[in-house]
Amino acid sequence: MQFGIFSVGDVTPDPTTGRTPTERERIKAMVAIALKAEEVGLDVFATGEHHNPPFVPSSPTTMLGYIAAKTEKLVLSTSTTLITTNDPVKIAEDFAMLQHLADGRVDLMMGRGNTGPVYPWFGQDIRQGINLAIENYALLHRLWREDVVDWEGTFRTPLQGFTSTPRPLDGVPPFVWHGSIRSPEIAEQAAYYGDGFFHNNIFWPADHTKRMVELYRTRYAHYGHGTPEQAIVGLGGQVFMRRNSQDAVREFRPYFDNAPVYGHGPSLEDFTDQTPLTVGSPQQVVEKTLAFREYAGDYQRQLFLMDHAGLPLKTVLEQLDLLGEEVVPVLRAEFAKNRPANVPDAPVHPSLTTAGPAADAGIAADAGIAGSAETSGSAEEVTVA
């Protein structure tokens, strides 16, 4: 099982000092956090993609390429690549290039993002968000697997005899996770292709996450990729730790209360009770994270959000020390206990290279899952508010 961190790259004032870091400081801090993640023994660093203030990571592959040159083992990922507003041709090229530079230590998470205005900035219509995600990924999937592509769709100009360069490293595309908080259609898309499904698992209660993951697992098996237990699942999480739980609550409260996302809303106590947020001791983080398996099953990747809401870099690095020294070793051992032998590990480049093309067997290259009777039915079976 993989453990790591993901960053949304927000530039937020520290509510305890009033100071706002510069964009340069925030970018450099994200790099320092990634390097610290490798130092403390984590497996994955993932960056978001945003094109609006107060966020800085508008060019994930640039940042990840820089981090790749400074690390040796860390898997470099995104915690979202905007499949709706990015050109799939450019995604294919950028991530294949990053694959070569990072010696295969690359995967990515497709998503629609959470910022409505980004659509017209890139010439798209938010009302077509799901359709864009489906069509663009169908093209990207082909670009990485076919040397020459003829293609015509709704949202971009046709391609005739097109070859995306460079070709994927060793002929094996980066592994793709499809990230969604609330859209059954995206869980369906991940299942159709036999890709991974990542549920952010930060803002929603356990029963919601359970429904989304179960939908994905069921449809993964339906499409013939394996049993539901063999589906590739990732979860997010959100923690703040001190060795004494009262110290953690006292220190984190002003950051929670003023955070751009959930500040001035539910109390810290209500939010920690109703969502996966954990504010307390390392042992409390271990206990709550282990409970994720009760509703998500045995899964492959756990990423934590730790550098948001104006937390200073020093504090974040202290959090990573606790995560690497006192939390992740226990989680690794406990999650390994009673894990069925048929549950796969998280896909990485060496394992995908060994598996070869069998992983794509039976998948139509130009998958038309939008509007199919099976897809529509599955969406109706899951009530997602």
Token pair 């993609």 is at which residue? 49
Whole-Å CA distances, 231 to 90, 190, 218, 365: 28, 10, 9, 20
Token pair 């990732």 is at which residue? 234
pLDDT number for residue 160? 97
Amino acid at site 13? P
- In degrees and rounded to multiples of 5, residue 233 shows phi and psi of -120, 140
Q: Say if residue 109's pLDDT is above 90.
A: yes
For 207-221, write each residue's pLDDT tens digit: 999 999 999 999 999
For 221-232, write each residue's pLDDT tens digit: 999 999 999 999
pTM given for the model: 0.91
Q: Say if residue 363's pLDDT is above 70.
A: no
pLDDT number for residue 360? 53
Percent of the chain with pLDDT over 90: 75
Average pLDDT (26-44) is 98
pLDDT band at 114 (very low <50, low <70, confident <90, very high): low
Which domains can be identified in the chain, with CATH numbers? 2-381 (3.20.20.30)
Q: Say if residue 182's pLDDT is above 80.
A: no
Q: Which of 49-63, 148-162, 223-237 has the lowest mean pLDDT?
A: 49-63
Percent of the chain with pLDDT over 70: 91
pLDDT band at 181 (very low <50, low <70, confident <90, very high): confident
For 245-263, write each residue's pLDDT tens digit: 999 999 999 999 998 777 7
360 Cβ neighbours under 8 A, 6+ residues apart: 145, 194
Q: ∠205-208-211 over CA atoms, to 5°?
A: 150
Q: Say if residue 120's pLDDT is above 50.
A: yes
CB atoms within 10 A of CB 376: 14
Q: Say if residue 8's pLDDT is above 60.
A: yes
Q: Say if residue 76's pLDDT is above 80.
A: yes
User: For the chain, how are helix, strand and coil distributed in percent, rounded to 5?
Assistant: 45, 15, 40
Whole-Å CA distances, 196 to 36, 174, 268: 26, 12, 31
Give the integer Cα–Cα distance in Å for 69 and 82: 24
Round the average pLDDT of the chain to a whole number and report it.
90
Q: Say if residue 128's pLDDT is above 90.
A: no
Give the integer Cα–Cα distance in Å for 350 and 106: 11
